[in-house]
Structure 1
Amino acid sequence: MKQLSKLGLALLIALCTQGCNTATNPDAQAKDSTTAATDTAIYFNLRPALEKQYGYTHAVKIGKDLIISGAVSMTDSGVVVGAGDMDLQMKNCYTDLAKILKHYGYTFADVFKENVYTTNMKEFERVSGYRNSIYKKQFPTGTWLEVKGLALDNQLIEIDMEARK
């Protein structure tokens, strides 16, 4: 009886491990190579010289996922636009985010996560209704955080996001 139990256990283990072995499973191999081919990172620099200077990439697409670094209101040379004007800075952030989304063929409807960092939450809340024109059907998940400061003086808001298509 013990031998029969050991034989049954050995058979069960063999069957389980065989199903996990992709080397003998051509369908699993094909799926793995397809996934690897589509998971290549595709980078995008909105302001190449500035991003190189500060050591970051504004966006990267991996598979269906698009991750966008924080957008701020600035010129291509790094000068803050709209010092003291939350409404203008927020609109400039969304303009830059729209450019990045469009570069990859995405829209705000594809955004599933958005984080807002602001140095003045009350002022952001006052102008945040503008987001209704951006997200027409559904707002993404996300977090709003009031922070002590952002990367450059006079920056009031920074928005990062993730999208999937």
Structure 2
Amino acid sequence: MKKPSDRLTLLAILFAFAFVFQSCEQTQKVETKEVEKEVIIAPEKPEYFLLRPEVEKAYGYSHAVKIGNSIKISGAVSMDDEGNPTAIGDIEQQMKNCYADLEKILKHFDCTFNDVVKEDIFTTDMALMLEKSAYRAEIYKNRFPTGSWLEVKGLALPEFMVEIELEVHKSK
């Protein structure tokens, strides 16, 4: 048999080890709670923009909405300030008119076409759109954004041949 003093020494070592282990575990729990307290995300308020307020209110949409660094821009069509179609029958001029309106919206948010990350184009004549699409190289000088091109049966008014919508990411 072992001596009682050896047993007491062994018990003392086990108690000391248990105490140290428990202290480390409690410290770790406290640190975890402190980190959890630091993760607070404040909600971001959307900023709405109307390019043609009367027209957009009549149709029930906002031309652009910015939340944080992201901006969603509704499809631009070739229209005047009263909402009447322009450049009827001329898809290339309609496309240029769309990009002119989109540029006004981008400037409102202090952005350029370099900030565009997604461009979706809807057209009633894909073959003609492809034929005239070289104009886009004048808009996107550095690189083209991602996106989709879709041929559709019709747009909001029968005179519209093209509609272009954008998504933008503006770095702070």
Instruction: Settle same-fold status: TM greater than 0.5.
Output: yes
TM-score w.r.t. length of structure 1:
0.82
Q: What residue ranges of structure 2 are gaps of 5+ in the alignment?
A: 1-17
List runs of 5+ in structure 1 lacking aligned partners: none
Q: Aligned equivalents of 1:111 and 1:72: distance in 2?
A: 18
**Count of matched residue positions in the alignment of Structure 1 and Structure 2:** 148
Q: Which residue of 2 aligns with 1:62?
A: 67
Q: Which residue, out of 103, 106, 117, partners 1:101? A: 106
| Alignment partners' CA distance in 2, 1:132 and 1:68 | 20
1:11-32 deviation digits (Å, cap 9, x = unpaired) = 79x689747743xx3xx23xx2
Residue of 94, 98, 101 corresponding to 1:89: 94
Determine helix, strand or coil for the equivalent of 2:144: coil
Alpha carbons of 1:16 and 1:122: their partners in 2 closer, same or farther (altered >3 Å)?
farther
Q: Which residue of 1 aligns with 2:135?
A: 130
Instruction: State the superposition RMSD in angstroms.
Output: 2.1
Q: Quick check: 1:154 aligned with 2:159?
A: yes
Secondary structure of the residue aligned to 1:76 is: coil
Cα distance, 1:164 vs. partner? 0.7
CA distance in 1, matches of 2:148, 2:34: 42
- Could you tell me which amino acid in structure 2 is paired with residue 54 of structure 1? Y
| CA positional deviation for 1:40 | 1.4
Separation (CA, whole Å) in 2 of partners of 1:82 and 1:20: 59
Report matched runs for 1:6-45 at 5 Å.
18=33, 21-22=36-37, 25=38, 28-29=39-40, 32-33=41-42, 36=43, 39-45=44-50
Report SS of the residue matched to 1:69. strand
Amino acid at match of 1:44: F
**C-alpha distance in 2 between matches for 1:54 and 1:113:** 24
The one-letter amino acid of 2:56's match is E
Q: Which has the larger radius of gyration?
A: 2
Q: Distance in 2 between matches of 1:74 and 1:137?
A: 28
Name the amino acid aligned to 1:59: A
